[in-house]
Structure 1
Amino acid sequence: MHPAMQARVDGLADLRARTTLATADFCALTGRPAPAQNVRYQVVTKGKAYHIVEVCTGKTKGFCFSYRAAINFAHAMEAAATRKLVGRQ
């Protein structure tokens, strides 16, 4: 990817993370429950394979040939994204 485009993508990802954290902080201050977090990765059947698709971009992040493996992979990617988001501040 072109460096300028990559810088923009990284900047937008940081802004998205800050938005999520700011919303959670605001909800904690006002005593409201935090909004439910949407699913980041979805398993989609494509022929004989199961693709793991990132919902916000529509890009395929991986694929598996068994449903159980695809679900486990999507859960692992979801957990890694959550850890990455929580680690940033």
Structure 2
Amino acid sequence: MHQTISQRRAILEGLRQRCTLSTAEFYDKVGRKNPAALPRFTVVPNGNNEFGIVERSSGTVRGVLRGHSAACRAAEQMEAKPVRQPSIATHMLRWTAAIATGFVLFALYGAS
């Protein structure tokens, strides 16, 4: 791609991000939901009257349901739930449990 085109695209992308951010700030100040925000989940057909609920950010399938209306209801319920960020404490707890299990297995099989 030519340098001027890539520069122009970068400038336009920056302006688009600033516009989106300022719109979101405006709606936050007013206390209303931002209508320009995209949904977190998308309902996609899988065939045979099955519909998958796909998370847009990661592309992972969060569920498969029979019937379009049931899948849309489930997607709306998932939208209503807050986004859960995994904390460092849960990661440390899992690693501690895995290492402890490894030590126990090593002690059991090493003793015999």
State TM-score, norm by structure 1. Answer: 0.53
Q: CA RMSD in A?
A: 2.4
1:38 partner amino acid: L
Q: State whether structure 2 residue 59 is matched by structure 1 residue 62.
A: no
Larger Rg: 2
Q: Report the number of matched residues.
A: 56
Offset of 1:53 from its aligned partner?
Answer: 0.2
Which one has more relative contact order, counting CA pairs under 8 Å at least 6 apart?
1
Q: List alignment gaps of at least 5 residues for structure 2.
A: 1-22, 84-112
CA change 1:66–1:38 in 2 (3 A) is same
Where has structure 1 moved over 2 Å in runs of 4 or more?
A: none
State TM-score, norm by structure 2. Answer: 0.43
CA change 1:35–1:71 in 2 (3 A) is closer
1:52 partner amino acid: I
Measured against aligned partners, the alpha-carbon deviations of 1:21-79 in whole angstroms (never above 9, x if no partner) come to xx85x433xxxxx5722110000001221000001111000010111100000000001
Give runs of aligned pairs for residues 1-89 of structure 1, distance below 5 A: 24=24, 26-27=25-26, 28=29, 36-48=36-48, 49-80=50-81, 84=82
